[in-house]
Amino acid sequence: MIAVVKIGTSSVTDETGWVDRSAITKLCGEVAAARAAGHQVIVVTSGAVGSGLPVLGLDGDRRPRDARTLQAVAAVGQSHLMATYGEALAAHDLVAGQILVAPLDFRERSQYLHARSTVLRLLELGVVPIVNENDALADDEIRFGDNDRIAALMAHLVDADLLVLLTDTAGLHTADPRLDAQASLIEEIREVDQVLEGVATGPGTVGGSGGMASKLAAAKIASWSGVRTVIGAATRPDVVRDAIDGAPGVGTVVRPHDRRLTARKLWIAFAIGASGTIAVDDGARRAIARGGTSLLAAGVTGVRGSFDVDDAVEVIGPDGVVFAKGLSRMAAADVADVAGLRSDELPDGLARYVVHADDLVVLP
C-alpha cells in the first residue's frame, strides 16, 4: 500500500510556534512501523513558517502579516523543519528526502510526469519523501494555499491507496466540538455534499491555513482519484497504522468513487479558483453534461466577472446552477462579444472554442 500522510502546522508546532519535536518523533515512528509492515509512506507537512518565526524572533505578537516577510520566514523555517524530520527518521534507519512543489508540478503534464517519476524513485530507494509547498518562492496568484490540497493531489500523482489527514480533532463532527459539547464524530462519508461542506469549519488556529473545510475539500479530490481518505487526530496513538488497517473509530473515513478524474481535470475541478462565470443555454448544458463536448460561442448566453485567456471559469445552465468548470480560451470581453454566434461567424484570430473539451470538466 502507498499512503500519503499529511500533518498540519497546529500539529507540528507548539503554542509558541517552535517545532514540536515530540509530535514529529511520534509521526516518524508510525511511518517507520508502516514501512516495516511493507507499506510505503509519503509525508506532506506544514510548518515551515511556524518553524521560522521563533528562529527570527517573530513569533507570538510579532508574527508578520505581509507575504514577503512570511516567504522569507518560510525559507529559514523549512531547513529547520527538514532537520527535525531527518533526525527523527534516522532514529529508525530511514532517510528523508525533501520535495518542494508548486501548482505547475500538477498542472503541466511534463512537470506532472517528472514529479511522479521523482517521488516514485525515492520510494524505490527506500527514502521517505517529505513534501511541502515551495512557500519561499510561491506567488500569491500561483500557489495552493494549503497542504491538504497538495496531499490529495500527491495521492493522485502516485496512485496512492490511502490519504491520511492528521489534525487536532478526531475527524469531522456534526458540529464544531470546541463549541458544541453534543457534537458527534461522523465516522463514514460516502459522498461529500453541500450539507457536509456546511458542517465543516474554517481554520481553527492562528498558525493553520486549512481547517476542516480544507480537509473535506481534499478528501473530495482524493475520492474522485479513487483514494480512501481518513481524517484523524495527530495525537491518537498508532493513528497511521489504524488508518492503513481500516480500524473502526480511527476518524472520519471518506470512501472513494468508482469513477476517477484525470489529473488535469482534478486540477481544474478542485485545485484552482474560478475567475468568472459563463452562462449557457439548455442545449449546450445537455451536450456538455454528456461529456467530451467543447463549449462553443453559439451556446453562450451571458458572462459574469473579469477573466483572461486560460483563467478558470464556472459554467452555469439556465437555472443558474454551476454544473461544469473549465479553462477559458477567450477573455471575458471576447466571450461577451461573440455570445450566440456560430463558429463560422467568429472574427479571425479568435479561438474557435470558448472552453475546449480537454479543459472542461462536468463537476461531480
| Mean of the per-residue pLDDT values of the chain | 87
pLDDT digits (tens, 9 = 90+) for 105-129: 776 778 888 899 999 999 999 999 9
DSSP state of 259: S
| Helices marked H in the chain | 9-12, 21-36, 48-55, 67-90, 104-107, 109-124, 147-157, 194-199, 211-223, 239-245, 263-266, 282-290, 332-338
What is the average per-residue pLDDT within 20-45? 96
Residue 98 domain-assigned? yes
Residue ending a domain, among 226, 261, 296, is 261
Residue range(s) defining the domain that contains residue 329: 273-362
Q: Cell numbers of 77, please?
A: 523555517
206 and 236 housed in the same domain = yes
Rounded distance between C-alpha atoms, residue 279 and residue 302, angstroms: 5
Question: How are beta strands 360-362 and 312-316 bridged, if at all?
Answer: unpaired
94 and 229 housed in the same domain = yes
Residue ending a domain, among 228, 261, 294, is 261
Rounded distance between C-alpha atoms, residue 266 and residue 111, angstroms: 16
244 and 278 housed in the same domain = no
Per cent of the chain over pLDDT 90 is 54
The rounded Cα 279 to chain-centroid distance in angstroms is 27
pTM of the model: 0.80
What total of structural domains would you count in the chain? 2
The rounded Cα 74 to chain-centroid distance in angstroms is 19
Is the model's pLDDT at 156 over the cut of 70? Answer: yes
64 and 172 housed in the same domain = yes
189 and 295 housed in the same domain = no
What is the average per-residue pLDDT within 246-252? 92
Rounded distance between C-alpha atoms, residue 83 and residue 200, angstroms: 34
225 and 321 housed in the same domain = no
Residue 268 domain-assigned? no
292 and 176 housed in the same domain = no
CATH of the domain at 191: 3.40.1160.10
Residue 138 domain-assigned? yes
Helix 109-124 and helix 147-157, axial crossing angle in degrees, nearest 10: 80
Per cent of the chain over pLDDT 70 is 91
137 and 164 housed in the same domain = yes
**Whole-number pLDDT of residue 128:** 98
Residue 122 domain-assigned? yes
How deeply is 37 buried, as exposed, middle or buried, from its count of CB atoms within 10 A (0-12, 13-18, 19+)? exposed
Residue 267 domain-assigned? no
Residue 266 domain-assigned? no
192 and 298 housed in the same domain = no
What is the average per-residue pLDDT within 143-156? 82
Is the model's pLDDT at 204 over the cut of 50? Answer: no
* Length of the chain counted residue by residue: 364
pLDDT digits (tens, 9 = 90+) for 262-316: 777 877 887 677 899 999 999 999 999 988 899 999 999 999 999 999 999 999 9
Q: How confident is the model at residue 208 (pLDDT cuts 50, 70, 90)?
A: very low
**Nearest Cα to 237, choosing from 218, 254, 251?**
251
Residue ending a domain, among 205, 230, 261, is 261
203 and 314 housed in the same domain = no
CATH of the domain at 325: 2.30.130.10
- What single letter denotes the amino acid at residue 267? W
Q: Cell numbers of 159, please?
A: 496512485
Is 178 or 195 the better-scoring residue by pLDDT?
A: 178
Rounded distance between C-alpha atoms, residue 1 and residue 49, angstroms: 31
28 and 175 housed in the same domain = yes
292 and 233 housed in the same domain = no
Cα atoms in the 13 Å half-sphere on the side-chain side of 158: 29
